[in-house]
Structure 1
Amino acid sequence: MPSNKTLADWQQFAASLNIEGRAFIQGQYVAARSGRAFDCISPIDGKVLTQVTDCEEIDVDAAVAAARQAFESGVWSQANPRKRKKVLCRFAELIRQHADELAVLETLDVGKPIGDTTSVDIPGAAYCIEWYGEAIDKLGGEVAPADQHLVGLVTREPIGVVACIVPWNFPLLMASWKIGPALAAGNSVILKPSEKSPLTAIRVAELAKQAGVPDGVFNVLPGGGQVGKLLSLHMDVDCVAFTGSTQVGKLLMQYAGQSNLKRVWLELGGKSPNIVMPDCPDFDRAASAAAGAIFYNMGEMCTAGSRLLVHRDIKEAFIDRLLEKARAYQPGNPLNPVTSMGAIVDDIQLQRVLGYIELGRAEGAKLLAGGQQVLLDSGGYYIEPTVFDVDRPDIRIAREEIFGPVLSVVTFDTLDQAIALANDSEYGLGAAIWSSNLTTAHEAARRLRAGTVWVNCYDEGGDMNFPFGGYKQSGNGRDKSLHALEKYTELKSTLIRLR
């Protein structure tokens, strides 16, 4: 339900929070053995929210040992699926009961508009965990065809200790996409949130325990990149599920190869093309979708439609409509319910985005809108929605993932040229095509090398039935849908001789 809280209401609520910053191991909050901690800074105003535990090797070892002991005990891994279902559905309900608290933590931590965290992030996380809870007692194995003297069974078993390493752009939602199926399948989980966004992960650990998740089955390890590296190298971790940059994903695969060949599942970067044909059925809707595809969540999305490919015949009219839609995404205080565009996550990311904007200018791209840091007096990190007209699709702002509100508009003349431009990327996460011609739409969808293709829409399909992931250097494996459960299980063949 939409909230009727005002900016003052949310600010008052935020001020009343007692923010937890410790790790969660073996069912309790603990500080790092070394006592190390780091400042958790809000991008809204640059102020310190709390101190967060900075875990090191001894803490990682403790969490892995707790997870392994819980797994081997069978308290969760061998529990009846109906029991796991009941606990996960209760976990989801507790997330809903604490939705305002979690939404504010997310907004304070990463600068997302409160209107988004209350309507998308937190409800979506609860829905995901509930979905996998509801699914797990409805899945069975197979009786495989075999010789008459044999019975052949194909079953799935939990893989063991799963390390989930998640990003800062959708902290709790991305975590739920991994912990939901991993827990439902019977694994023990260690969640490593980004050091930029640890607060909701830490908070929901206690909610999981209240729901009935046994001690040691769900642990949270905040800290820097060393925690992810240690988990990926650990000989007693069976699987790493990661969402983040392609560069880090490649390192995690190397660490797995250097250790125990643990399973590594990667959801990585994107530079998604959004193709608008001259027979686009609705210019206004297409322009709104194109703006939302890059400016929603401040452009901090792996599926961001950061390459807008527009047919030459309609380019001028479409850009005019796009720039009109872009004006709706003006940065403002993320705790204000009317704000549609919040803060960039931190100063490091701010400088990265500003650097790409300057690079675009230097490479000869034409700046059509934005390009400036704004609200400097706030102490936070805000950038205007930025649009470039790019006449050379090989320049860096049109090829590299910026992870900010920066759009490159590229012109094409034919569908074949548009498909070639769209596929000319190291990534293959998402893509879209706008056309009223059914043949064009189907042909483009088949030829676009992307894990998700939208036709006459962008980034729709928020339910859990569609697998999410990419081709090429956008990663491997899939989040969401029943297919995600495959990542967190081992297939076993059992052959029984009857005579």
Structure 2
Amino acid sequence: MGNLPHFQLFIDGEWSEGSDAQIMTSENPATGQGWATFACASAGDVDRAVAAAKRVLDDPAWRDMTQTARGKLLYRLADLVAEHASRLGELETTDSGKLLAETSAQTGYVVDYYRYFAGLADKVEGTVLPIDKPDMHVFTTREPIGVVAAIVPWNAQMFLTATKLGPALAAGCSVVLKASEIAPAPMLEFARLIEQAGIPPGVVSVITGDAENCAIPLTRHPDIDRIAFTGGPETARHVVRNSAENFAVTSLELGGKSPILVFDDADLDGAANGLIAGNFGASGQSCVAGTRGLVHRSILKPLIERIEQKASAIRLGDPLQSDTHVGPLCTAAQVRKIETTLAKAQGQGAVIRFGGVAADRPGNYMTPTLVECTSADTETLKVEMFGPVMSLLPFDTEDEAIALANSTPYGLGSGVFTQNLARAHRVSKRIRAGICWVNTYRAISPIAPFGGFNQSGYGREAGVEAILDYTRTKTTWISTAQEPMANPFIMR
């Protein structure tokens, strides 16, 4: 194990081991073998990172930096990410099992996120208020909210980091970025680019570690002003409870069981591609995976035939190979969870049309799977499995489809396939989800807000409003009266 690559923590501009010397090994999901080691943060390391982040908020090097200058730093960071996209993508693939074709492309695309927020940095404005007191000049300004705890999972690290780090730095905050302990290598490597970009020491620290020693001390730390969390609902509940200790403003992006509605007038090839993208893309390891396919009964059979035909050409294999469509899952636990969930679904009368078994090869591979369901209570329609499993359920009317779509505690993504423009508007309006794609799926942009409803979380990442979420409004009153206050005991 001594010959494996090793990644250190990046705290206050310096590289170090964790203070308790804890080391963890990361396994390559494609082989099941350890490929790298990384240092783990302790509560003491969290204290160091937060203390540095708090200190720099009063350091002229960051506090007095103009908004335009902060934007230029983000442009520089964007250029470095673009330059190193291939390296970061390869690390992410080796560490998490995601396809290299997607990790490299996604890393290249998040460059646009950093550039978008770089451009917004000097567009955050205050307002002069038309106050009802003629001897007062009153205006608002937006100030950095403070120290941000940004917590990202392993499944889309570069993207989910950009949606947090970009607006936070543009707003003038400082950030402690906590990478997932499951596959942290690309985030710890990314920290080198933060250093190279010239961002002042302490403005961004990158750490990783387990819940007890790292995540809990971070989210309940008294000097954290803002928490930006992406992950699962159960962990989010702990994050919200922890935030009661510091009253940090919190945003949550939690995934869910997104519905894809296919109506009888839909283009079947387009719908089949959308369902495949929503379920087998990223090997199903996506927070917006469209795992509840709701299909008009009249087209269910021909749509299944199209999906079966297209799925027969899917190549399961090494995620580093360019011709692979579906790679391994990040952890063996995901494979076991899928197998258990499929067994329960079959016991409820569901039919597995193809797949349904772990692949007979080293690593955490699950074959792409299609489940035909007869009831909305089928286990695969309720459990978020984070793997390549598509479940289809028939409906008869538009109202029934919408009711099924909304019969979930979640509400992140959704899809509608129809060639009827009126129906597209009507149905997308009634679906309770933060995102609705019509005749497409899994599209993102730095310009478009990203976030959910209900147990899929709250707050938005990307778009203009994202940067405002990292500021707080100050109201300044200036008296222009020539005489002193008439009566100090009466509120003006």
* Smaller-chain TM-score bracket: over 0.9
* Superimposed CA distance per residue, residues 69-123 of structure 1 (whole angstroms, 9 cap, x where no aligned partner): 112214223310111111111111111111221111011010111111122x211
Is 1:369 aligned to residue 351 of structure 2? no
Of residues 104-113 and 431-440 in structure 1, the stretch that sits farther from structure 2 once superposed is: 431-440
State the 1:465 CA deviation. 1.0
CA distance, structure 1, for counterparts of residue 130 and residue 439 of structure 2: 44
State the one-letter code of the partner of 1:381.
N
Larger Rg: 2
Look up the match of 2:311. 326
State the 1:463 CA deviation. 1.8
Look up the match of 2:401. 418
Look up the match of 1:254. 241
Residue 66 of structure 1, aligned match among 45, 49, 52: 52
Write out aligned runs for 1:226-241 (5 A).
226=212, 227-241=214-228
* Superimposed CA distance per residue, residues 380-405 of structure 1 (whole angstroms, 9 cap, x where no aligned partner): 11111111111010222111211111
Is 1:48 aligned to residue 31 of structure 2? no
Q: CA RMSD in A?
A: 1.4
Residue 487 of structure 1, aligned match among 460, 464, 469: 469
Structure 1 counterpart SS, 2:372: strand
Look up the match of 1:9. none
State the 1:20 CA deviation. 4.5
State the 1:151 CA deviation. 2.0
CA distance, structure 2, for counterparts of residue 154 and residue 19 of structure 1: 50
> How many residues are treated as equivalent by the alignment?
477
CA distance, structure 1, for counterparts of residue 423 and residue 326 of structure 2: 34
CA distance, structure 2, for counterparts of residue 350 and residue 24 of structure 1: 33
Is 1:149 aligned to residue 142 of structure 2? no
Is 1:295 aligned to residue 280 of structure 2? yes
Look up the match of 1:339. 324
State the 1:455 CA deviation. 1.3
* Superimposed CA distance per residue, residues 276-314 of structure 1 (whole angstroms, 9 cap, x where no aligned partner): 11111x211111111111100011111001011000111
CA distance, structure 1, for counterparts of residue 129 and residue 383 of structure 2: 47
Residue 172 of structure 1, aligned match among 149, 158, 161: 158
State the one-letter code of the partner of 2:383.
E
State the 1:221 CA deviation. 0.9
* Superimposed CA distance per residue, residues 137-171 of structure 1 (whole angstroms, 9 cap, x where no aligned partner): 12311122212222221221111110100011111
Write out aligned runs for 1:87-486 (5 A).
87-119=73-105, 121-147=106-132, 148-226=134-212, 227-257=214-244, 259-280=245-266, 282-376=267-361, 379-460=362-443, 462-486=444-468
* Superimposed CA distance per residue, residues 241-295 of structure 1 (whole angstroms, 9 cap, x where no aligned partner): 00000111111001111x1211111001211110011111x21111111111110
State the one-letter code of the partner of 1:310.
V
Cα 1:145/1:375, change in 2 over 3 Å: farther
Look up the match of 1:6. none
Where has structure 1 moved over 6 Å in runs of 4 or more?
A: none
State the 1:19 CA deviation. 4.1
Of residues 238-247 and 140-149 in structure 1, the stretch that sits farther from structure 2 once superposed is: 140-149
CA distance, structure 2, for counterparts of residue 328 and residue 160 of structure 1: 50
State the one-letter code of the partner of 1:449.
R
State the one-letter code of the partner of 1:31.
E
State the one-letter code of the partner of 1:331.
L
8 A Cα contact 1:190 1:220, kept in partner: yes
8 A Cα contact 1:136 1:184, kept in partner: yes
Cα 1:18/1:218, change in 2 over 3 Å: farther
State the 1:18 CA deviation. 8.5
Is 1:31 aligned to residue 17 of structure 2? yes
8 A Cα contact 1:77 1:158, kept in partner: no
State the one-letter code of the partner of 1:127.
D
CA distance, structure 2, for counterparts of residue 19 and residue 492 of structure 1: 47
State the one-letter code of the partner of 2:127.
E
State the 1:471 CA deviation. 0.7
CA distance, structure 2, for counterparts of residue 256 and residue 86 of structure 1: 32
Structure 2 counterpart SS, 1:382: coil
Look up the match of 2:67. 81
Structure 1 counterpart SS, 2:457: coil
CA distance, structure 2, for counterparts of residue 302 and residue 290 of structure 1: 15
8 A Cα contact 2:334 2:385, kept in partner: no
* Superimposed CA distance per residue, residues 295-340 of structure 1 (whole angstroms, 9 cap, x where no aligned partner): 0001111100101100011111111111222233332001111111
Q: Which consecutive unaligned segments of at least 5 residues does structure 2 have?
A: 482-492
CA distance, structure 2, for counterparts of residue 327 and residue 288 of structure 1: 13
CA distance, structure 2, for counterparts of residue 398 and residue 77 of structure 1: 49
State the one-letter code of the partner of 2:408.
S
Cα 1:143/1:305, change in 2 over 3 Å: same
State the 1:375 CA deviation. 4.1
TM-score, normalised to structure 1, is 0.93
TM-score, normalised to structure 2, is 0.95
8 A Cα contact 1:468 1:479, kept in partner: yes
8 A Cα contact 2:4 2:36, kept in partner: no
CA distance, structure 1, for counterparts of residue 263 and residue 69 of structure 2: 51
State the one-letter code of the partner of 1:228.
A
State the 1:354 CA deviation. 2.1
Cα 1:248/1:151, change in 2 over 3 Å: same
CA distance, structure 2, for counterparts of residue 204 and residue 494 of structure 1: 39
8 A Cα contact 2:315 2:323, kept in partner: no
* Superimposed CA distance per residue, residues 5-44 of structure 1 (whole angstroms, 9 cap, x where no aligned partner): xxxxxxxxxxxx9844111001111001111110011101
Look up the match of 1:7. none
Cα 1:74/1:351, change in 2 over 3 Å: farther
Structure 1 counterpart SS, 2:286: coil
